[in-house]
C-alpha cells in the first residue's frame, strides 16, 4: 500500500461549467486502487480462522476479533464487485472467496438465518435477529457468483433471498421488542435494501421478477415515507402510511434519505422516467440543505423533522458513510440532470470529506467525527464500519464521471 499524499483542494470556481469531472474521476479511482482496497487486503484477512477482521485500529492492527456477518457479506460483495467491474485481479477474487468460505461454513443457524456475529473461530455470539446480515450475505454471494460462477453460490444467494422475503414483515421475529398493536411502525430501511438487493441479484432472479419489486419500492419511498410538506423522508411511519408524532416517527436521517435518492435516480434512468429523476434529485438537494451543519460544516447524523430534540445522543456527529453517499448522489445528480447545484454541492461535500475523513498518515478513512469535524474515534473499522461504503462510493463516483 502506497503512503497517502495529503489532499489539496482545487481552487474554487464560481462557474459550474468549469466543474472538472475528469479530475475527480481520476482522483477517486486512484484513491480506490492505491489506498482503500490495499488497506483491507493487507489488514483484514484472517489467515488462520478464515473470514475477515473488521475491527481495525488507525494503523490497521486488529483491536477486536469478533466477526459480524453483515460486514463479512459486505466485504465479499466489495471484492467480488471490484473483480467484476474494475479489473479481474486474482488478489480480489481470492479475498472474496476467502470470506465466503468462512460465511458458508459458520454463518447460518439451522433455519438458514444468518447470525449477527461470531467469534474469531466462527462460533455464534449473537443470534440471527437482524435481517441485514441476510441481505448482505445474499448480495455478497450473488456478486461472487458473477466473479466465479458456482451452483453453490447461486443456491446460497437465492435461498437467503427467499428467506428474507419470508421474514420481511416481521424480520426480528421473537427478538422484536415492540409491544404489538399500540404504535405499529414500519421502517424505511428494508424497502430500499430489498430493491437494491434485487437489482444486484438480477442475473439470478431474472428481469421480470426484479421489475416487479420496483413499483412497490417507488411508492413506499416517494409517497409513503416522503413528507411533501417538509420535503424530507422520515425513517418510520405507521403501517398505513400515516405520520407518527413520536421520537421514531419524527426521525430524519439525512444520509439515509440522500443514499435512497441515488438508488431512485438509477431506477429512473432504468425506467426512462425523467420526472422521477428530477424529483429524486430535488429531494436529495433539499435533504442535503436541511442536513448540512451551517455552523461547522458537514452533514448531521440525525434530526427531528419538527425541530424537537432528537433521542439519539450522537445526533450531531459526522459519519463517513453519510458523506460518501452524498458524494455518489451529487455525482449522479450532476451527470444525469446537469443541475449546477449538484456541482456546487459536490465541491463543498468533497472538500469537507477529503479534508476531515481521509487519513493521510496511515491510509483509509476515519469513520467518526465530532460536530466540529475532529476525529472522534481513530478506528478504520469496527462493528459498523467495514470494507463497503468508502470503496463503493469511490467506484460509483469515478465510474459515474467516466460515463460508465
Work out the widest C-alpha separation in the chain, in whole angstroms. Answer: 60
Q: How far apart are CA 145 and CA 157, in angstroms?
A: 9
Query: Tell me: the pLDDT tens digits for 28-77?
Result: 999 999 999 999 999 999 999 999 999 999 999 999 999 999 999 999 99
Give yes or no on whether 28-170 and 186-363 have one common fold.
Answer: yes
Quickly count: other Cβ atoms within 10 Å of residue 136's Cβ: 27
> What is residue 12's predicted lDDT score, i.e. its pLDDT?
45
Cell numbers standing for residue 69: 456477518
User: Domain ranges in the chain?
Assistant: 28-170, 186-363
> What is residue 18's predicted lDDT score, i.e. its pLDDT?
79
As to burial, measured by CB atoms within 10 angstroms (0-12 exposed, 13-18 middle, 19+ buried), residue 272 is exposed
Query: Tell me: the pLDDT tens digits for 168-182?
Result: 877 677 777 888 889
Q: How far is CA 161 from the centre of its chain?
A: 19
As to burial, measured by CB atoms within 10 angstroms (0-12 exposed, 13-18 middle, 19+ buried), residue 189 is middle
What topology is assigned to 28-170 in CATH?
Glycosyltransferase (1.50.10)
Query: Tell me: the pLDDT tens digits for 100-149?
Result: 999 999 999 999 999 999 999 999 999 988 889 999 999 999 999 999 99
Beta bridge partners of 299: 292
Q: What residues contact 170, with CB distance under 8 A and at least 6 apart?
A: 176
Answer yes or no: CATH 1.50.10.10 is held by domain 186-363.
yes
Backbone angles phi, psi at 311, to 5 degrees: -80, -20
pTM, two decimals, is 0.95
Backbone angles phi, psi at 315, to 5 degrees: -55, -30
Amino acid at each position: 500500500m502506497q503512503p497517502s499524499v495529503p489532499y489539496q483542494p482545487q481552487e474554487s470556481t464560481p462557474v459550474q461549467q468549469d466543474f472538472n469531472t475528469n479530475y475527480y474521476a481520476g482522483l477517486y479511482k486512484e484513491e480506490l486502487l492505491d489506498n482503500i482496497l490495499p488497506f483491507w487486503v493487507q489488514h483484514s484477512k484472517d489467515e488462520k480462522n478464515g473470514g475477515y477482521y473488521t475491527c481495525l485500529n488507525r494503523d490497521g492492527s486488529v483491536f477486536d476479533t469478533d466477526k459480524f456477518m453483515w460486514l463479512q457479506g459486505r466485504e465479499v460483495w466489495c471484492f467480488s464487485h471490484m473483480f467484476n467491474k474494475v479489473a479481474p485481479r486474482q488478489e480480489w477474487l481470492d479475498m472474496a472467496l476467502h470470506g465466503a468460505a468462512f460465511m458458508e461454513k459458520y454463518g447460518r443457524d439451522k433455519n438458514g438465518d444468518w447470525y449477527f456475529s461470531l467469534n474469531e473461530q466462527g462460533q455464534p455470539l449473537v443470534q440471527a435477529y437482524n435481517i441485514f446480515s441476510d441481505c448482505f450475505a445474499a448480495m455478497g454471494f450473488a456478486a461472487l457468483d458473477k466473479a466465479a460462477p458456482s451452483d453453490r453460490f447461486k443456491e446460497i444467494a437465492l435461498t437467503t433471498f427467499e428467506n428474507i422475503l419470508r421474514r420481511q414483515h416481521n424480520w426480528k421475529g421473537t427478538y422484536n421488542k415492540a409491544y404489538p398493536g399500540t404504535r405499529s411502525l414500519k421502517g424505511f430501511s428494508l424497502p430500499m435494501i430489498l430493491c437494491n438487493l434485487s437489482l444486484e441479484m438480477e442475473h439470478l432472479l431474472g428481469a421480470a421478477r426484479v421489475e416487479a419489486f420496483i413499483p412497490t419500492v417507488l411508492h413506499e419511498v416517494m409517497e409513503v415515507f416522503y413528507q411533501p410538506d417538509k420535503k424530507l423522508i422520515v425513517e418510520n411511519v405507521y403501517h398505513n402510511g400515516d405520520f407518527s408524532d413520536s421520537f421514531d416517527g419524527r426521525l430524519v436521517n439525512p444520509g439515509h434519505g440522500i443514499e435512497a435518492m441515488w438508488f431512485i435516480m438509477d431506477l429512473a434512468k432504468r425506467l426512462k422516467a425523467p420526472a422521477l429523476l428530477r424529483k429524486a434529485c430535488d429531494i436529495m438537494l433539499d435533504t442535503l440543505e436541511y442536513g448540512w451543519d451551517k455552523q461547522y460544516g458537514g452533514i448531521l447524523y440525525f434530526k427531528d423533522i419538527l425541530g424537537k430534540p432528537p433521542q439519539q445522543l450522537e445526533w450531531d456527529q459526522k459519519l463517513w458513510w453519510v458523506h460518501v453517499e452524498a458524494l455518489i448522489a451529487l455525482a449522479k445528480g450532476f451527470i444525469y440532470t446537469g443541475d449546477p447545484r449538484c456541482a456546487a454541492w459536490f465541491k463543498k461535500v468533497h472538500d469537507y470529506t477529503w479534508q476531515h475523513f481521509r487519513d493521510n498518515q496511515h491510509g483509509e478513512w476515519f469513520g467518526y467525527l465530532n460536530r466540529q469535524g475532529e476525529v472522534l474515534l481513530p478506528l478504520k473499522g469496527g462493528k459498523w464500519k467495514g470494507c463497503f461504503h468508502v470503496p463503493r462510493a469511490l467506484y460509483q463516483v469515478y465510474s459515474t464521471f467516466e460515463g460508465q
